[in-house]
């Protein structure tokens, strides 16, 4: 869209990238209208103090989630591994356009990056669909499966950082995205098995918070390294965090095997 409609935006005094933002806002409106029409919910009571009480309970909920996770070895090790995973992979997700754009012709660089972004999300979906088959290869031992996937991601991330041409980058990027998608199901399965149904949403919220904190820390560190050296160097160094996460999952798999023996 910036390539096709950018001149119109420039003529109106905006950046060519504002075209994409405008389209995003429009699509949000479409989703909002569709949701209001297509999703029907039974009316529920709305106590006037519910919102205020919800915010007041946030610290208690976080504390309970932390106690639930870190009093038990399996979820605590897994959450640390997932934080390391996001620290390593988030810089790739955010910074890859800066590495790819110099490989492309200026005339169609924005369109090509948009197409590759769509391919990235589609490949993640493919990886998620393949996750059960991959888990069966490792006899449904989720910790082993996840450790192997993280180790594979580390190798592929290093290979991605070493690419100098667009064809090789796209090929490796697709493999990387598939592995990302495949890693989601084993991690969720381990967490779901650790807690009762009434505790699941609390633990999943804690997982999301820890992962986002890991992603933020990883991006800050990788961004600093990229400015001093290069994006490729930052990705290679980040891959070491994936190796560490794989080692943690190997220890977790050993513990699970001993407990079930």
Return the C-alpha torsion angle 100, 226, 178, 250, nearest 10. 160
- Asked if 73 and 204 count as a contact pair (C-beta separation under 8 A), the reply is no
Separation between Cα atoms, residue 31 and residue 40, nearest integer Å: 15
Q: Predicted confidence band at 258 (pLDDT cuts at 50, 70, 90)? A: low
Question: Per-residue pLDDT averaged across 107-129, rounded?
Answer: 90
Please compute the mean of the pLDDT values over residues 112-119 and round it to a whole number: 91
pLDDT band at 182 (very low <50, low <70, confident <90, very high): very high
Are 84 and 238 in contact, with CB atoms under 8 Å apart? no
Q: What is residue 6's predicted lDDT score, i.e. its pLDDT?
A: 85
Q: Where are the domains of the chain?
A: 2-38, 61-260
pLDDT of residue 27: 96
Of 180 and 210, the one with more pLDDT: 180
- Residue 90: its pLDDT value, please? 94
Question: Which CATH code is given to the segment(s) 61-260?
Answer: 1.20.1250.20
- For the segment 195-217, the average pLDDT, to the nearest whole number, is 81
Cα–Cα distance, 166 to 22 (Å, whole number) = 29
């Amino acid at each position: 869209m910036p390539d096709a409609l950018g001149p119109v935006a420039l003529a109106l005094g905006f950046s060519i990238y504002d075209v994409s933002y405008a389209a995003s806002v429009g699509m949000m409106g479409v989703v909002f209208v569709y949701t209001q029409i297509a999703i029907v919910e039974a009316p529920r009571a709305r106590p006037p103090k519910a919102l205020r009480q919800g915010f007041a309970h946030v610290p208690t909920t976080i504390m309970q989630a932390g106690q639930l996770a870190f009093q038990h070895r399996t979820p605590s090790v897994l959450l640390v591994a997932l934080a390391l995973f996001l620290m390593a992979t988030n810089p790739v997700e955010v910074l890859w356009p800066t590495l790819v754009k110099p490989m492309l012709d200026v005339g169609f660089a924005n369109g090509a990056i948009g197409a590759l972004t769509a391919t990235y999300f589609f490949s993640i979906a493919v990886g998620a669909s393949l996750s059960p088959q991959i888990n069966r290869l490792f006899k449904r031992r989720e910790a082993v499966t996840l450790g192997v996937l993280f180790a594979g991601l580390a190798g592929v991330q290093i290979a991605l950082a070493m690419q100098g041409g667009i064809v090789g980058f796209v090929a490796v990027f697709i493999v990387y995205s598939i592995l990302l998608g495949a890693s989601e199901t084993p991690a969720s399965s381990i967490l779901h098995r650790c807690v009762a149904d009434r505790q699941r949403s609390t633990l999943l919220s804690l997982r999301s918070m820890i992962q986002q904190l890991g992603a933020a820390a990883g991006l800050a560190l990788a961004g600093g390294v990229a400015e001093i050296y290069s994006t490729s160097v930052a990705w290679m160094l980040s891959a070491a965090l994936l190796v560490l996460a794989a080692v943690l999952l190997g220890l977790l798999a050993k513990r699970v095997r001993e407990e079930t023996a």
